[in-house]
Amino acid sequence: MSNFLTEKILLYRIFTKKDPEAYAELYDIYVQRIYRFVFFKVSNHENAEDIASEVFLKAWQFLIANSEEQPEIKSFSGLLYKIARNSIIDFYRQRASKSEIAIDENIEVTDDGKWYDELANKIETGKIIQAIKKLKQEYQEVLTLKYVDELDISEIAEITGKSQLSVRVTMHRALKKLKQILGDK
Amino acid sequence: MSQDLIAQLKQLKHGEVKPSEAWLKNNRAVLLSQIKNTVGDQNSKINLENVWNAMALFMPRPVVFNVVRPMAVLLVVSIVATSGWITGVDAAYNSLPGDWLYGAKRAAEKTQVAMAAIVGAKKAETKLHAEFAKRRADETKQILNSNDPGKQAKAQETVSDLKIEIASVNQKLDEIKSDSTKNVTADVVKDVKQDTDSVKNTLQEVKTSLLATAAQNTSTTPATDAAVQTVQAVSEVKDLAKDASIKAVEVMVTKHLEGDVSVSVADVKKEINTTLQSGATDAAQSNSSVDKIKDVVNAAKTQVADLSANKTNNASTTAALTQKISEISTATNVAVAQTKTAVETTDQAVAKAVDSLNKGDLNQAVQAMKDVNNVTKEAEKIYDKTIVNAAQLVPVSPVVAAVDSSKDIKVIVSTSTSSTPEIKVILTPATSTINNSSNSKTEKK
């Protein structure tokens, strides 16, 4: 609830004062989620970074363009995910000629995090990411939103534009499919 | 397997799919610079619309814009309207004629009366008129105590307003009397009576102070004339107030006999008694005042007679003066006789009324009370006439105005400063030698 209120207040500052600092705070809250969301759909970190920064810029432009009428934004994350989806679609349109299913095998070890200490774990993670990327878009979305970003079903329903029941069903199927892929390996 | 898978999925966010710290920081800076370029410098202006948007943070927007906003606007408007009204009228409440808020005060009063009339609250209306009459009387008193040069004119204005109010009270009392629906109870009438009594007393004070002022300002004839006019106007309204007071008692008795129990028999009797006593006092006062005038006039007459006997110069003017003063003296003597009769009549009527009261015959008592009122009114008229008459020649006002009758009265007629004789009245307290002559000097025209 407090997060919800913080978000509302930040949005209010953006609408009324066009306050870049407020937007920076929103960026801090959401950038990692959006990055992950994008990352699962595009091939590599570079593309994910490009798209994620594009998403935030587009979101800002949307807010400023509509600051006069101050549209009611039920959830800012919903807006970001929608923009992200569209951006990803644009990204694939532009690169329609390329086949982009294969993942960059060298998963970047971005920093010396503790997580990479265990090699076995790293391999396991790589397997799952690969498996997720083999799922269809719909399944990817619900799985990452639910388990990686830990969103509520209601939020996922809003982002994906589906009913909550439909999200549950999709999630169940996606999990089953993921298991199947991992089992096949 | 399923749980393991979920756990592994959850771990993803800590691992491979995390964006690099460097990118996060860098991108943040780039984004900030980009968006800052799009907006430029924003002057935050205070916009009422933002208040509603701020409110919309905490409750649904439709509620804010369709319910809260109209209500808030209505609330603000009503607060501004009423608080403006309250503070304005409160400030106006103590204003006097000539003050710029006095108009607001009168407008507020008129609105109150109009509202009461529209609602048909006869009770409230009558009370309001009595209340306003009281205010007018107080205003008159305050104006006359002030140093305003145009106070006589203003006082006459308030007195004429007061007359209208008292007339309204009288009219309302008549209506209440003939109205048998028992909408108006006797206790209301009792309140009205107390108000009219208060008006009467205030006017008595006003009259006394006016007489004193008239005495001080005798050198300026127009002021004296204005003061005399005011005295007459005040007397007239005072009579009306007395009538209203009597009528109020009458209505109380009528209501009581009709079975209204809001005022007890004892209270009714008490009111009648008070009115009777004040009537008797008034009659006695008129009589004693006229008596004082007589003393002064007679003293002056003696002095003038001496003067005409001793001096030969200005014989014609002295002779005229002698003649005039003897006329006044005669008139005053008649007035004394009349007021004395009035006092006797009053005493008889009061005795009769008290007797009726003791027997429990309220109607009879009221009748006697009316008689007393008429007689005292007559006596007061005689007194007013006498004082105006005598004041032409002799400065009698201070004598009458002096509450303390223990002062010695000394009348001096001098011819030293002018060709026409001057009559001075000197009041000296019996115990000291303070000379009031400067305040009591007059010139014979």
pLDDT of residue B443: 39
- For every residue of B298-348, DSSP letters joined together read HHHHHHHHHHHHH--TTHHHHHHHHHHHHHHHHHHHHHHHHHHHHHHHHHH
For residue B43, list chain A residues with Cβ-Cβ distance below 8 A: none
Nearest to B10 among A60, A61, A148 (CB): A148
Domain for residue B224, yes or no? yes
CB contact under 8 A, A32 and B13: yes
For residue A115, list chain B residues with Cβ-Cβ distance below 8 A: 14-15
For residue A111, list chain B residues with Cβ-Cβ distance below 8 A: 20-21
From A48, A66, A98, the end of a domain falls on: A98
CB contact under 8 A, B17 and A148: yes
For residue A118, list chain B residues with Cβ-Cβ distance below 8 A: none
pLDDT of residue B434: 38
CA–CA dist A126, A117 (Å, integer): 14
pLDDT of residue A170: 93
Helix (H, G, I), strand (E, B) or coil at B280: helix
Among B426, B383, B402, residue whose Cα is nearest residue B294: B383
pLDDT beneath 50: ranges in chain A: 105, 115-116
Interface test with B, best of A18, A29, A177 (most B CBs within 10 A): A18
Nearest CA in chain B to A27: B28
How many inter-chain contacts (A to B, CB under 8 Å) are there? 129
Q: Are residues A65 and A21 in the same domain?
A: yes
Q: Are residues B133 and B70 in the same domain?
A: no
* d(CA A39, nearest CA chain B) in Å: 7
Q: Are residues B76 and B134 in the same domain?
A: no
Q: Are residues B101 and B213 in the same domain?
A: yes
Domain that holds residue B85: 58-91
Q: Are residues B87 and B151 in the same domain?
A: no
Q: Are residues A94 and A29 in the same domain?
A: yes
CB contact under 8 A, A60 and B19: no
Domain for residue A169, yes or no? yes
Number of domains in chain A: 2
pLDDT in tens, chain B (445 residues): 577 778 877 777 776 677 888 888 888 888 888 888 777 655 555 566 677 777 777 777 778 778 888 888 788 777 766 766 666 666 667 777 777 677 777 777 888 888 877 777 777 888 888 888 888 888 888 888 887 777 778 888 888 888 888 888 888 888 887 776 666 677 788 888 888 888 888 888 888 777 776 665 554 455 566 777 778 788 888 888 888 888 888 888 888 887 777 777 888 888 888 888 888 888 888 888 888 888 888 887 887 777 777 765 566 667 777 788 888 888 888 888 888 888 888 888 888 888 888 887 888 888 888 888 888 888 888 887 887 777 766 666 556 555 445 555 666 665 544 445 556 666 555 443 334 444 444 333 3
Nearest CA in chain B to A143: B9
CB contact under 8 A, A129 and B9: no
Q: What percent of chain A has pLDDT over 70?
A: 80
CA–CA dist B370, A51 (Å, integer): 105
Domain for residue B383, yes or no? no
Kindly provide the ipTM of the predicted complex, given to two decimals: 0.71
Q: Are residues A2 and A93 in the same domain?
A: yes
CB contact under 8 A, B5 and A179: yes
From A42, A65, A98, the end of a domain falls on: A98
Helix (H, G, I), strand (E, B) or coil at B427: strand
Q: Which two tokens stand for residue B387?
A: 């004082």
Work out the angle at residue B269's Cα, subtended by the Cα atoms of residues B381 and B259, and round it to the nearest 5 degrees.
Answer: 120
Q: Are residues B85 and B206 in the same domain?
A: no
Q: Are residues A130 and A83 in the same domain?
A: no
Interface test with B, best of A11, A37, A60 (most B CBs within 10 A): A60
* Interface residues on B facing A, Cβ-Cβ cutoff 8 A: 1-2, 5-6, 8-21, 23-24, 27-28, 30-32, 34-36, 38-39, 42, 44, 47, 50, 53-54, 56-58, 61
Q: Are residues A75 and A139 in the same domain?
A: no
* A128, A103 Cβ separation under 8 angstroms: no
CB contact under 8 A, B34 and A57: yes
CA–CA dist A63, A152 (Å, integer): 24
* CATH code of B222's domain: 1.20.58
Number of domains in chain B: 2
Residues 143-182 of A with CB under 8 A from B: 143-144, 147-150, 175, 178-179, 182
**Most distant CA atoms of chain B, gap in Å:** 149
Nearest to B17 among A28, A56, A129 (CB): A129
Long-range contacts of A162-167 (CB under 8 A, 24+ apart): A167/A142
pLDDT of residue A5: 75
For residue A36, list chain B residues with Cβ-Cβ distance below 8 A: 12-13, 17-18
CB contact under 8 A, B8 and A125: yes
Q: Does A83 touch chain B (CB under 8 A)?
A: no
pLDDT of residue A168: 93
* CATH code of A166's domain: 1.10.10.10
Domain that holds residue A132: 117-185
B423, containing H or E segment: strand B422-428
* B393, B300 Cβ separation under 8 angstroms: yes
Q: Are residues B143 and B217 in the same domain?
A: yes
Domain for residue A112, yes or no? no
Domain for residue B117, yes or no? yes
Q: Are residues B148 and B84 in the same domain?
A: no
For residue B35, list chain A residues with Cβ-Cβ distance below 8 A: 20, 23, 57, 60, 64
For residue A17, list chain B residues with Cβ-Cβ distance below 8 A: 42, 44
pLDDT of residue B148: 74
